[in-house]
Amino acid sequence: MSKHKMKIAAVVFILLAFWIPPAASAQSLDTDSLLPRFQPTSKSIVPDSLFLKAQRYIASRRAKFIGKPAPIVVTTTIAGDPWRLTDQKGKIVVVDFWATWCIGCRPTTEAIEQLREKYKDYKDVLFVGVALDEKAEPVINFCRTNNMAWIQLFEPGKMTRNGFAKAFDVWTIPEVCIIDKNGIVASVFGMSKEEIDRTIIELLGR
């Protein structure tokens, strides 16, 4: 696939994430009813087959992860300290996959910052960023400039080499995954601020 096509596919995947209900599965997803939403502006650029593949990918990925134990993740913080997802049991973990070069990640990061402020007194809600840059320096500088004081996880190398991203099959960003207090995946693939907030409220009530 050419870089141009990969960029188009990434945009489609990101947009689809916000239009398919979080609970949708590969079996329940009605791709025919969702496809027309894109056609007025995008049909001449991206073929219908790509839309359908994107829709099915998102639904199958949600079916793969939601309601299942989270993958075992052992990684490091931007400071080089070890970090394990299994050590966070007892907390709702909100994971934001992002990169400094990802312009589309900015609104999601801002939403995470606002929600972090809202839940700052909740010891059982943890916000974590997973930076998918190749080098640490841009991440450190970006976090410092934008006052991103919450935990940032990082592994050097390309996005496809990041262990956390590989464990959750993340290859388009922005993306937010939420894991409940028992280590069960509650949501994957793209969520608005309102959806993230609703999910946290629901999980706190369990």
Domain parsing of the chain, residue ranges: 3-65, 74-204
pTM of the model: 0.76
pLDDT value for 46: 52
Q: Using CA atoms of 56, 40, 49, 57 in order, give the dihedral in degrees to the nearest 10.
A: -20
Instruction: Return the pLDDT at 49.
Output: 64
At residue 99, the pLDDT reads 93
For residues 174 and 17, give the distance between their C-alpha atoms in angstroms, rounded to a whole number: 10
Beta bridge partners, 75, equal 83
What are the DSSP calls for 13-26, one per residue? HHHHHHHS-TT--T
Q: What is the pLDDT of residue 18?
A: 45
- Which CATH superfamily includes the segment(s) 74-204? Glutaredoxin (3.40.30.10)
Q: What is the mean pLDDT of each run of 10 residues along the chain (206 residues)?
A: 49 47 40 43 53 71 87 91 94 95 89 94 95 93 92 84 85 88 88 89 88
Distance between CA atoms of residues 78 and 151, nearest Å: 8
